[in-house]
Amino acid sequence: MSVPFDSDPSLAAYAHPERLVTTAWLAEHKGDPGVVVLESDEDVLLYDTGHIPGALKIDWVLDLNDSVTRDYVDGAAFSALMSARGISRDSTVVIYGDKSNWWAAYALWVFRLFGHEDVRLVNGGRAKWIAEGRELTKDVPRPAATSYPVVQREDAPIRAYQSTVLETLGRHPLIDVRSVPEYTGERTHMAEYPQEGVLRGGHIPSAVNVPWSKAAAEDGTFKPRAELEAIYFGDAGLKADSDVITYCRIGERSSHTWFVLTYLLGLDKVRNYDGSWTEWGNSVRVPVAQGPEAGTAPVAVSA
C-alpha cells in the first residue's frame, strides 16, 4: 500500500515534506485505502463535538500515557490501541488536532517512539480545516480490528530522560519552549493553565528560550523554512548537526518544536525531554537558573 505524499508547493521547502499534508490533500485522500486519520486534542470531548469525516480519536492522557507509572504505554498497550483503530504497521497515519497541533505533534512523537514509519501531521490542524469551511461530522467510524505487532518502544533516539540531560548539560544545546515568564521563573505554569505542583521556577542552566509558538503562523500552520531557520539557527544558535534537547512543562509543547527541528529543518539528533519542568523543577539538587539569562551549566553534575 503506497499512499502518495503531498506535493503541495507550500511544503516543498521543508527538509521532510513527507511528514506534512495540507487540508486540501486530506480532503482528497482521507478515504484512501491504507490511510487512517486521527484527531489528538487537549480537550478530550472536542472530537465528539464534530470531527473530520472518517477520523478517529486518540487521547494523549487516556491512550498514550500509562495510568500508573509516569511513562508512555508499552508495546502491548500500543498494539492494542492501534488494532482497535484499524491501524496496521504499514498504515499511513495522518494526525491533526487543536491548539496549533501541539497534541497532534505529541501523538506523532509517541508513534515514532514505536517506530511507526508513515505518520504525518495536517498543517494547520483542526482550526484550519474549520476555518476553510470544510465538513465536520459526529459520526464515529467503526473500523475492523487489525493485528498490529507488539513493538518494543525505542526511546533513545528521540526521547531524553533527566539523567541524559544532567549528563550532557553544557555540552548539548537545550531549547526551553515555554513562555517567557515560565522561563525566567516568574511563573511555574502557563497562564490560564493548571498549577501542576512545581516547587521551583526557572529553567535548566544554558537552555535558550524559544517559545514554541514562534514556529507557528497565525493560522496554526508552520512558518516557512527560511523564517524557521532565522529563529532556530540565527537567534537560538543551533546548527544543522546540533545534538539538541527540547523541553517544556510536560513535553507537549516541546513535541511541536521537536517536530519543527527534526522534520522541517532536518536536524537528525533532536530529543524531547518529556519529564520537562514538572520533573526538573521538583528534583532535589539539580541546577536551576532564574531570570532572562540562559546561565552556565555547572561542571561535572551528577544526580
Partner 1 sequence: MTDPTPMPAALRGIIDDFAALAGQDKLQLLLEFAENLPALPERYADHPELLEPVPECQSPVFLITEVDRSVTPAVARLFFTAPPEAPTTRGFAGILREGLDGRPVDEVLATPADFAMQLPVADVVSPLRLRGLSAMLARVKRQLAEATRAGA
Strand partners, 259: none
CA distance 39 to 120: 12
| By CB under 8 A, residue 131 contacts partner 1 | no
Question: Quick one: 112 or 126, whose CB is closer to partner 1?
Answer: 126
- Residues of this chain, 222-281, that bind partner 1 according to CB under 8 A: none
Q: How far is the CB of 191 from partner 1 (least distance, A)?
A: 7
Contact segment (CB under 8 A) with partner 1 among 189-197, 200-208, 281-289, 295-303 equals: 189-197
Among the listed residues 147, 192, 226, 284, the single contact to partner 1 using CB under 8 A: 192
| By CB under 8 A, residue 68 contacts partner 1 | no
CA distance 182 to 211: 10
Among the listed residues 9, 33, 133, 194, the single contact to partner 1 using CB under 8 A: 194
| By CB under 8 A, residue 145 contacts partner 1 | no
Residues whose CB falls within 8 Å of the CB of residue 80, separated by 6 or more in sequence, listed in order: none
Question: Quick one: 6 or 63, whose CB is closer to partner 1?
Answer: 63
Residue 218 near residue 225 (C-beta atoms within 8 A): no
Contact segment (CB under 8 A) with partner 1 among 59-67, 116-124, 158-166, 268-276 equals: 59-67
Per the residue annotation, which of 36, 58, 248, 265 is the catalytic one?
Answer: 248
- Residues of this chain, 25-54, that bind partner 1 according to CB under 8 A: 42-46, 48-49
User: Can you read off the three cell numbers belonging to residue 116?
Assistant: 511507526
CA distance 159 to 163: 11
Residues whose CB falls within 8 Å of the CB of residue 71, separated by 6 or more in sequence, listed in order: 65
Q: How far is the CB of 18 from partner 1 (least distance, A)?
A: 30
CA atoms within 13 A on the CB side of 260: 34
Question: Quick one: 62 or 180, whose CB is closer to partner 1?
Answer: 62
| By CB under 8 A, residue 181 contacts partner 1 | no
Question: Quick one: 190 or 217, whose CB is closer to partner 1?
Answer: 190
**285 in the Ramachandran plot: left (φ > 0), alpha (ψ -120 to 50) or beta?**
left
CA distance 141 to 53: 8
Closest among 266, 259, 6 to 110, alpha carbons compared: 259
| By CB under 8 A, residue 133 contacts partner 1 | no
Residue 272 near residue 258 (C-beta atoms within 8 A): yes
Q: How far is the CB of 97 from partner 1 (least distance, A)?
A: 11
| By CB under 8 A, residue 191 contacts partner 1 | yes
DSSP annotation string for 47-78: GGG-B-TT-EE--IIIIIB-SSSSSB--HHHH
Among the listed residues 33, 195, 199, 302, the single contact to partner 1 using CB under 8 A: 195
Look up 215 and say whether it is catalytic.
no
Torsion of CA 256, 48, 80, 103, to 10 degrees: 10
**Binding mask 84-123 vs partner 1 (x if CB under 8 A, - otherwise)?**
--------------x-------------------------
Q: Which residues are catalytic?
A: 248
Interface contacts to partner 1, rule CB under 8 A = 42-46, 48-49, 59, 61-62, 98, 140, 191-195
